[in-house]
Amino acid sequence: MTSFQHGTPPPAPSHVPGPAVLGARGLTKSYDATRALTDLSLNVHAGESVAVMGPSGGGKTTLLHCLAGIITPDTGQVLLQLDGGTTDIARLDDRERSALRRSTFGFVFQQGLLIPELTALENVAVALMLLGVDRSSAEHSAAQWLAALGLAGMEDRRVGQLSGGQAQRVAIARAQVSGASVIFADEPTGALDSGTSAEVMDILLRSTTGTGKTLVVVTHDDDVARRCARTVRLRDGRIVSDSLSPAAGAVA
């Protein structure tokens, strides 16, 4: 796999959002009798940071999972526009969506879902090895990412030997090491104290939108939302507000 482009570590200046990279059109999703999304449409622009807020049960995670091709909506489209082509993610089969998630998207969850038996370095490298990158190249890229996110010297620690904030940095590195252009984060600082939460968000923003990538982050934290360029609020499966932040685009 010589043509594979590894992700390049940050930092770089922020910039103005470009064209829509993801377009949700009329998404509806129900779980049995529960309606999670109702006719929801949303454009996410290249390079944008979008905070998704709203009450628990409002459909935030379901929206994120539809946008990222983790689940498919019952109706509607999720148009991914990359490299001059448009793909409706909602029409792809499981295998195609899984390939897309590995190559194009990155994920950070509330608990990093790191593999406890592996070291920090191995947890990041595994994302590349799943794409067929050989172990030594994968570990080289992983080490660069860990260093860029302030974890130099912690490569050989296992998950249990990292603080919550350090573990989330590893998760952020893993989400991006494959060169993903869109990063999805679902309450990534939800399990951290406020000081650590601010640091981790800073790193997440700098390493994503700070380098021209797109970030969609579910959060309950107003400070996090303020640091994103845009905030979309969901309630009962619908968007109830969509506003640009006064400090739009600022990452520092």
For ligand ADP, the binding residues (CB under 6 A) are 31, 34, 36, 56-62
CB of 211 to ligand ADP, least distance (A): 27
Strand partners, 214: 182
Instruction: Look at residue 244 and give the partner it binds from ligand ADP, Mg ion, none, a contact being a CB closer than 5 to 8 Å depending on partner kind.
Output: none
Angle at 244 (CA atoms; ends 237, 10), nearest 5 degrees: 100
Pick 60 or 174: Cβ nearer ligand ADP: 60
CB of 55 to ligand ADP, least distance (A): 7
Residue 61 binds Mg ion (CB under 5 A)? yes
Selected range binding Mg ion among 59-67, 84-92, 105-113, 224-232, rule: CB under 5 A = 59-67
The helix/strand/coil state of 60 is helix
Selected range binding Mg ion among 54-62, 77-85, 110-118, 209-217, rule: CB under 5 A = 54-62
Please give the single-letter amino acid code of residue 186: D
CA-based max dimension of the chain: 50
CB of 229 to ligand ADP, least distance (A): 21
Pick 190 or 212: Cβ nearer ligand ADP: 190
For 169, the token pair is 């940095």
Pick 2 or 56: Cβ nearer ligand ADP: 56
Cis upstream peptide for 116 (omega within 30°): no
For 8, the token pair is 């390049």
Q: Which one, of 248, 245, 230, 213, lies nearest residue 46 by Cα? A: 213
For 224, the token pair is 């996090």
Instruction: Look at residue 31 and give the partner it binds from ligand ADP, Mg ion, none, a contact being a CB closer than 5 to 8 Å depending on partner kind.
Output: ligand ADP
